[in-house]
Amino acid sequence: MSRGPAIVLAMTVGLCHCVVLDLGRNNRLEVNLPWLPFEGETRCYDELGCLNITRDWYHLIYRPFNVFPLPREVIDTRFVLYTRKNPVEGQTLKAGVDRTIQKSNFDAKKQTKLIVHGFIDTPLSNWVKEMRRELLKHSDWNVVVVDWAGGSLPLYT
């Protein structure tokens, strides 16, 4: 075993505190994580559908932890609309609630631009505010900031 896999193995053991190693078929190192109770389980997320966790989703380096997505109530994704009429105070648009769009400054005749923050980030980041300002300065668009900060922390992959 070279140093790279040994380091990954040490990190995995350190994180999990319970790893069973098996030199499996074809001399491939397989890791069994017995503390993951989700294998073979299915969870449904309302209109988003159902998913299950299988070993197909597992990879020692790229995806060592197989966990279900957080519930939608925890992630609490929000869509906040900014226009030239309201460049500073956003208007919250709720998915599936048409009246939030109807009562907002949203104009279907105008282009809509989405700003989605990244992993371990929030819509409060300076770059999000700056991009919103610059987009509205450039043109009279609907600018929607997607806030998924409740789910943007580990383990989201």
Domain residues of the chain, as ranges? 3-57, 72-151
d(CA 95, CA 50): 19
Condensed to tens digits (0 to 9), the pLDDT of residues 11-66 reads 544 444 444 444 445 555 555 554 455 677 888 988 889 988 887 777 778 877 77
Nearest residue to 141 via CA among 127, 155, 131, 156: 131
d(CA 96, CA 82): 19
Under the banding of pLDDT at 50, 70 and 90, the label for residue 3 is low
Q: Which residue would you say has higher pLDDT here, 96 or 109?
A: 109
3-state SS, residue 40: coil
The answer, as to whether pTM is greater than 0.85, is no
